[in-house]
């Protein structure tokens, strides 16, 4: 069982906004930055967000991240069919002295 909690699934129609939550504790999200990754099965995971809300070059601005206290969220606006994938949050955990991933959220474009 992961120390980070994510909903197992989320969905939306093309053009809609979808939000994915990631809940943790004071030892991980509460005191360290959050990262978000997109993963299509059979491919390499892709970094979407780092330092809570920063986008690497090449990541569309449709993807945005935020953090408040011990929770974080990833928003996908203007949902597109190519956004159908698994999304994972990740943070360093001071108690474990290691990094942890959330269980992942599968996003479906209806």
Partner 1 sequence: QLQLQESGSGLVKPSQTLSLTCTVSGGSISNGGFSWSWIRQPPGKGLEWIGFIYQSGVTYYSPSLTSRVNISLDRSKNQLSLKLNSVTAADTAIYYCARVNLGKGRALDIWGQGTMVTVSS
Contacts (CB under 8 A) with partner 1, residues 52-91: 54, 56, 86, 88, 90
User: Cβ contacts of residue 33 below 8 Å, gap of 6+?
Assistant: 50, 51, 52, 67, 91, 92
Beta pairing class for 9-12 and 105-109: parallel
**Closer to partner 1 by Cβ: residue 52 or 77:** 52
DSSP category for residue 7: -
**Could you say whether residue 45 binds partner 1 (CB under 8 A)?**
yes
Name the site residues for partner 1 (rule: CB under 8 A).
2, 32-33, 35, 37, 39, 43-47, 50-51, 54, 56, 86, 88, 90, 92, 96-104
């Amino acid at each position: 069982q992961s120390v980070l909690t994510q909903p197992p699934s989320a969905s939306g129609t093309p053009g809609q906004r979808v939000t994915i939550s990631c809940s943790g504790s004071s030892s991980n999200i509460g005191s360290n930055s959050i990262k978000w990754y997109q993963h299509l099965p059979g491919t390499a995971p892709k970094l979407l967000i780092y330092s809570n809300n920063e986008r690497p070059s090449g990541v569309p601005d449709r993807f945005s991240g935020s953090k408040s206290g011990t929770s974080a969220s990833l928003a996908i606006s203007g949902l597109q069919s190519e956004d159908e994938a698994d999304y994972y949050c990740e943070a360093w955990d001071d108690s474990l002295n290691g990094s942890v991933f959330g269980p992942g959220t599968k996003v479906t474009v209806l």
